[in-house]
């Protein structure tokens, strides 16, 4: 089981999944990721990222990238000169939106490591953190708990 916590109560992170295959937009997405296709004269990513960046309310923007087109997204973001810090994570296989968001867990939460505990003890540890308004995410196998 993996456990993660975020001890900053007012820490805002935007997660932007960019790893989709874009099958409904083919042939446009054969060589260009959907997030970089133009809408109203600028790439879709700009319509998403600019308001987040200009709001000044976010501490980080995390982009979830595919192996096929990820470098193109990174190159575009680097040219965008954002004020908000950014991070990139990779989704090795296109397993859906939830899986994409889960790939960002280590950018959002801090991994906890502790020796194996009896089931009830982990519940107590999580409850203590919950009482202190700490966000948490636990993953067991492929399940969130």
pLDDT at 4: 52
**120, pLDDT greater than 60:** no
Q: What is the pTM of this model?
A: 0.67
| CA 53 to each of CA 8, 38, 47, 77, 80: distance values in angstroms, whole numbers, following the listed order | 20, 19, 11, 12, 10
CB-based contact 114:120 (threshold 8 Å): no
Q: Residues 85-116: pLDDT tens digits?
A: 889 999 888 787 778 888 887 777 665 555 55
CB 25 within 8 A of CB 37: yes
> What confidence score (pLDDT) does residue 133 get?
46
- Euclidean distance between CA atoms 44 and 52, whole angstroms: 13
Mean pLDDT value of segment 139-144? 50
Contact between 61 and 85 (Cβ < 8 Å)? yes
| Closest CA relative to residue 11, chosen from 62, 61, 58, 63 | 58
pLDDT tens, residue by residue, 21-73: 777 768 877 788 888 888 889 988 888 888 888 888 888 888 988 888 889 98
Q: Domains plus CATH for the chain?
A: 2-144 (3.90.550.10)
| Range of weakest confidence among 8-17, 31-40, 86-95, 123-132 | 123-132
């Amino acid at each position: 089981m993996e456990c993660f916590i975020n001890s900053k109560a007012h820490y805002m992170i935007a997660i932007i999944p960019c790893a989709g295959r874009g099958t409904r937009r083919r042939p446009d997405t054969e060589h260009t990721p959907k997030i970089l296709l133009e809408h109203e004269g600028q790439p879709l990513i700009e319509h998403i990222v600019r308001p987040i960046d200009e709001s000044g309310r976010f501490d980080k923007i995390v982009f979830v990238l595919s192996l096929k087109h990820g470098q193109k997204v990174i190159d575009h973001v680097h040219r965008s000169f954002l004020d908000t810090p950014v991070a990139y994570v990779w989704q090795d296989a296109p397993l859906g939106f939830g899986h994409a968001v889960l790939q960002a867990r280590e950018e959002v939460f801090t991994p906890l490591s502790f020796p194996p505990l009896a089931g009830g003890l982990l519940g107590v540890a999580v409850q203590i953190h919950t009482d202190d308004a700490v966000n948490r995410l636990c993953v067991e196998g492929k399940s969130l708990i």
